[in-house]
Structure 1
Amino acid sequence: MQPSHRYIRLTAIALGVAGVISFGSASATGFQIRENSVKNQGRAFAGSAVAEKDASVVSNNPAAMVNIDTTTIRADVTAIDLTAKFSGGGTAAAGSPLARPLTGGNGGDPGDITAVPAMSIVVPLSGSFEKLTLGAQLSAPFGLKTEYENGWVGRYNALESEVKTIDLTLSAAVKLTDRFSVGAGFIYERAEATLTNAVDFGSAICRVSPAACLTPNPVAAPFGPQKNDGTVKVKGDDNGIGWILGFQWKPTDRLSIGYSHRSEIDHDLEGTVTFTKPGNVSALLGAARITQYDTGPGGAKLTTPSTDTLSVSYAFTEQFRMMFDAQKTDWHSLQAVNIVRANGTPVAQESFQWEDTMMYALGAEYDLNDRFTLRGGVAKDETPTNDTHRTPRLPDNDRTLYSVGLTWNANEHISVDAAYTRIQIDSPDVNVVSTSGSTLVGKFKGHADLFGIAAQYKF
């Protein structure tokens, strides 16, 4: 019996850590967040690597910091509101004589309004260093939060998921000529993750000790599928280091071309797994001296993906400009999540088989006058997931973004930006087996609304 209990516990840890890592962002496919600039958001993120008068280029393309001619500070915040609804059902203890339909509701709306902040500063130097520009930014490039109602039909796959990353990017740019600049940056990333889901201890005990579920009869038996639910909570954190490189070229006064590469960042998430068990389950496990469901350490390697961004901007007139972005995200770094003990012994694996994705964005800006600029854009964003491995922790699919934005130049020093983005998500299907042995089959429908506001001050 011991190996079976051990397997159940370790796969529960695997679900926890892997589920945190695969947690889906409402603002971009996978768990990516692009909202470090409300100006960029208003153009559906087109032109991010050649942006003018925007201090967020510190982490989008440091070479474009040369577009700013005086010390500039900027603060952005975007409220991301994900709305989603699940329809479907499933089977508990699938494949066993005790299999029965999953009970519970649809989980409600797992999304909640979440604020994503960013702060930037760009400092052009003078004198002997007049061709050098320095910058720094705090941002959150990955993560979001979802929470399903307790007791929902997919509780064995997901209840609460939260992942946070905070990046400190320190960048420098050199203007080699009047038309060409290069830049580089150092990234320090903090990652924190928390996940909970229900555990069907009744099914687990039935697999190990069928007599506990079959006598005197399945209905009156003290253990059985969905009779003895508990929970598992996994928490982990780590710090990682990465880098960014880029260039900007202006062949003419009207045309700007920018490219940047952000590196992968490796994390070794270390934390604990905590089980909450019903009283009769604790008593049975205690009497049998089975400790596999006790709280203990667990960990996994996480690699946030690299990104390559190509931006083009063309000014048709002094008032009207159009921008285009093509961004590749290397999600192939997340093929599987290997769970290990504190001593490094491998214990379980969760397969993802993610693929690299492309995002294409087209945007435009029009200066109404010296005070106001209008902008808008549309983007297509591919999902890294697939029908075979998709789970409720990432009910993700291809999406289309529609954005509008506005800048108000209050005076020569202060400007205020606002933007709204509507994200339409193609309905994803889910057909997945949980570590409790249940099968969940259904479909998600959802969308997201993004509301951004920012202020920038030029000294």
Structure 2
Amino acid sequence: MQTVSRHTFSALALGIAGVLAFGSADASGFQIRENSVKNMGRANAGTTVAWGDASVVLNNPAAMVNLDKTTLQADVTMIDLTADFDGGGTTAVGTPLSGGDGGDPGDATPVPAMAAVFPLSGSLDNVTLGVSVSAPFGLKTEYDPTWAGRYSAIKSDVKTVDLTMSAAIAFSERFSVGLGLIFQHSSVTLSNAVDFGTALCAGSGNPLNCFNPAYPFQPQGSDALATVQGSDNDWGWVAGMQFRASDNLVLGYAHRSEVHHTLTGDATFDHSDPRVPATFGLLGVNTYDNGPIWANLDTPSTDTVSVRWDVNEDFRVLVDAQLTGWSSLSAVDIYRTGGAQLAHEPFNWEDTWFYSVGGEWDFSDAFTFRAGVGFDETPTNDAARTPRLPDNDRMVYTLGMTWNVSEALSVDAAYMRVQIDTPSIDTTSSSGARLVGDFDGYANLLGVSAQYRF
């Protein structure tokens, strides 16, 4: 029975490393690229060579030199996920899992971002400073608490917020470099049910008790809710360069570092059956005690290359290729503060590529229109996929526009459609419950932003 305790934390360890990937439906894993509505309108192509976009404070500090006025920018993107599960499963003793399909786990969620760029003057007129606040990883999903997969996942809430402070130097009209310091806050809340009924009847010394209605504990009859919460602050960095190869061709590159977190928080157990703690004590088994825990979390590095080609004065084509270092999530370990290991969960994610191409057309001095398409690889695979992380490859399709209200003020809007390849699930939870089925999901994203220059 002590093995059951360890495995319960092991299931939650999967969530420490990443939220349900459908919750972060715009990008694979639990990445969120939406820190600029302009970028979203062209499928996030050209992020490291963007003109007139303050989001480069984080995306590529070297591109801040493209802004010749003090620029303030605020973006918000609403991500609306629709996801359905079709399947079922069995308990550890082979009885059918009760419960429904979990409902729609993703509510419409706003993702804000803010940035400011300050070109210096005088003897420092080749220097530009910037600051931004964004949410590069996370989002929230929540299943019905009585769904069939409750022993694998109920709530997954991961929030990561970056404060980035950057500087850029233009060595010439064609070449610039930039460097930024990232202060990152991460918080995680994860929960799933624990099937104490199955554990108690199967461990009673007579497994047939699980099929004897007169026995006080039956499969799925004495569930508890296990919850892990933790948070941490730590530092990372971003560096980049921008090179104008010709009057109509610009190249950009940026590297964003990993950020290493040691999350600290608490594990709690809410026993719906008041008999469970006493019964566990009579059996000589350690009670599921509430108490402090800690776990490591590394948010991944990214390497991004962008190209911008000005076909003519009114039309531009942009391309992005981004490598995300998900292989840093090799395993997740959860410990009690005294040093006892509660879980070791091999994660085995792989590095992934994101590719996109987009275009911009200046219809007039007042209006610019955008469109783009992108492909995003999944870091997980059929062997490692769980209900908490049912990720798969996805395509993105976008439209966007800018309205230049005046020389100082502009307003942007963009729409993204995300189509996710159907991921299959065949996994066993901490309670020994096997869940088999498919997820079918898509997402609609709508963003608006405003920029003021002076």
**Common fold: TM-score over 0.5:** yes
2:39 matches 1:14: no
Q: CA deviation at 1:26?
A: 1.1
Amino acid at match of 2:407: E
Distance 1:210 1:151, change over 3 A: farther
| 1:395-445 residue CA offsets vs partner (Å, 9 max, x unmatched) | 110000000001000000000000000000000010111000110011000
2: CA distance between counterparts of 1:286 and 1:349? 26
Mapped contact 1:122–1:135 kept (Cα < 8 A):
yes
State whether structure 2 residue 251 is matched by structure 1 residue 271: no
**Is the aligned partner of 1:228 residue 2:227?**
no
Name the structure 1 match of 2:450. 455
Instruction: State yes or no: 1:166 paired with 2:165.
Output: no
Cα pair distance change 1:252/1:217, threshold 3 Å? closer
Q: Show the counterpart of 1:26.
A: 25
Q: Partner of 2:72 in structure 1?
A: 73
Rounded Cα–Cα distance in structure 2 between residues aligned with 1:27 and 1:161 = 17
Contact 1:236–1:272 under 8 Å retained in 2: yes
CA distance in structure 2 between the aligned counterparts of 1:111 and 1:217, rounded to whole angstroms: 37
Q: Which residue of 1 aligns with 2:149?
A: 154
Q: TM-score, normalised by structure 1?
A: 0.96
Q: Would you say the 8 A contact 2:149–2:435 is kept in 1?
A: yes
Letter in 1 for 2:228: V
**Contact kept in structure 2, 1:21 and 1:163, CA below 8 Å:** no
Secondary structure in 1 matching 2:245: coil
Secondary structure of 1:206 counterpart: helix
Aligned to 1:141, the other structure's residue is in SS state strand
Amino acid corresponding to residue 58 of structure 1 in structure 2: V
Contact 1:20 1:162 in 2 (8 A): no
Matching residue of 1:179 = 174
Match of 1:198 among 185, 193, 202: 193
Query: What displacement does 1:21 show?
Result: 2.1
Poorly superposed stretches of 4+, deviation over 3 Å: 213-217, 286-292
2:118 is equivalent to residue 117 of structure 1: no
Residues 300 and 367 of structure 1, relative CA distance in 2, 3 Å threshold: same
Other structure's SS at 1:257 match: strand
The corresponding residue for 1:318 is: 313
Check if 1:343 corresponds to 2:338: yes
Contact 2:263 2:297 in 1 (8 A): yes
Q: Secondary structure at the match of 2:418?
A: strand
Query: Is the 8 Å Cα contact of residues 214 and 221 (structure 1) preserved in structure 2?
Result: no
Q: Using the alignment, how far apart are the partners of 2:442 and 2:17 within structure 1?
A: 21
Query: Amino acid of the residue matched to residue 154 of structure 2?
Result: L
SS of 1:250 mapped into structure 2: strand
Q: Within the alignment, does 1:329 sit opposite 2:328 as a pair?
A: no
Q: 1:197 to 1:216 in 2, by over 3 A?
A: closer
Long gaps (5+) in structure 1: none
The equivalent position to 2:247 in structure 1, one of 239, 253, 260, is: 253
**Could you tell me which residue of structure 2 aligns to residue 295 of structure 1?**
290
Alignment of 1:384-399 (within 5 A): 384-399=379-394
Deviation at residue 348 of structure 1 after TM alignment: 2.0
Rounded to whole Å, the distance in 2 between the matches of 1:8 and 1:268 is 25
Shift of 1:289: 6.2
1:210 aligns to 2:205 (yes or no): yes
Count of paired positions: 450
1:415 aligns with 2:433: no
Q: For residue 210 of structure 1, report the CA deviation from its aligned partner.
A: 3.4
8 Å Cα contact 2:281-2:287 kept in structure 1: no
Unaligned runs of 5+ in 2: none
* Residue of 94, 116, 121 corresponding to 1:126: 121
Q: Give aligned-pair identity as a percent.
A: 55
Letter in 2 for 1:386: N
Give yes or no for contact 2:17–2:329 (8 Å, CA) kept in 1: no
- Higher mean alpha-carbon deviation, 11-20 vs 48-57, is at 11-20
In 2, Cα distance between the equivalents of 1:347 and 1:156? 18
Change (3 A) 1:458 1:217: closer
Provide the C-alpha distance between the structure 2 equivalents of 1:400 and 1:37, rounded to a whole number of angstroms.
19
Q: SS of 2:136's equivalent?
A: coil
The one-letter code of the counterpart of 1:133 is: T
Corresponding residue number in structure 1 for 2:238: 244
- Residue 315 of structure 1 aligns with an amino acid whose one-letter code is D
